[in-house]
Amino acid sequence: MYDVIIIGGGPAGASAAVYTARGKLSTLVLDKSPNAGALALTHKIANYPGVSEELTGAQLLDRIRDQARSFGAEFKHTTITAVDLEGETKYVFTADGMYEARAVIIATGSKGRNRMLPGEERLLGKGVSTCATCDGAFYAGKEVAVIGDSEESVDEVLALSRIVSKIHFIVPRPELQGIKTLPELPHTEVRFRTRPLEIVGEDRVQGLRVKSSSGEEQVVDADGVFVFLSGSKPGTDFLEGQVPLDADGYMILDELMQTAVPGVFGAGEVRRTPVKQAVIAAADGAIAAMAADKYIHRREHAIPQYK
């Protein structure tokens, strides 16, 4: 019986483990793909507070995980098959057996679209990105392509337009979803009804092959490709029927990352958040951890760990 089981070992889950383990709660982190999350695949980190040297997302995650281990947290690589979260004791079923805990923190992040573009997965973190705020600065003065069909993609184009020299905005649909009037987009060529076919490059992105509505194919020059196509969903399929989820599968949480089920918490991209950043996910994990500590010790208020 653990005090806390954390499902997911990305920035939210690993940060939660730092706080729970340091708070003397026995902690087990279960992660299906420790090296496959969005942060783990990021080629370079330059905006995480307190980290001034150049390092990869995987290296940053290793630091957080090692810190959690130093306080006593355990990490196990396994696949979750089912959970039973309703009772006072929470049961997590995995490919390696069953684990029990008094509280559970869900930090499984988001899963990508069912179908990725050829070259997208291979070049993720090597010129392919899903976050302009995170990676836009690496393309200062360069030419990039943005693939999107939503309001989010327009926001990302606006962010990139202040940094790059030119943007090829590739919109597969005849119009953008949720956008009535397209704002002025500096340094941007918008291409509606244009289907992305392949991200081109060996070790780095070198371009994007597209097909227009007329059937013409061409390779658009690009040093980076930012993908914001609809379809990214939170990794909460295994929770259906266990905790309240909204229509898109996001966990419904309060300000302390608590669900309506006592002892069950969420953190990171399993909740709706206007900004997807590692530091935001880490903060969510810290809040969820302190809320779990409050729940386990039946405290009236969460106690922050300052020392």
Q: Name residues whose C-beta falls within 8 Å of residue 233's C-beta, 6 or more positions apart in sequence.
A: 110, 111, 248, 249
Residue with tokens 């969460």: 302
3-state secondary structure of 294: helix
Residue with tokens 């290793």: 62
C-alpha distances out from residue 228 to 21, 36, 193, Å: 36, 19, 16
Residue 149 appears among annotated catalytic residues: no
Q: What share of the chain is helix, strand, coil (3-state, %, to 5)?
A: 20, 30, 50
Among 3, 134, 223, 293, the one annotated catalytic: 134
Among 3, 31, 131, 293, the one annotated catalytic: 131
Here the tokens at position 121 are: 């997965």
Residue 66 appears among annotated catalytic residues: no
Phi, psi of 218 (to 5 degrees): -155, 160
Residue 237 appears among annotated catalytic residues: no
Among 135, 149, 284, 293, the one annotated catalytic: 135
> Which residues, in sequence order, are bridge partners of residue 42?
none
Catalytic residues: 131, 134-135
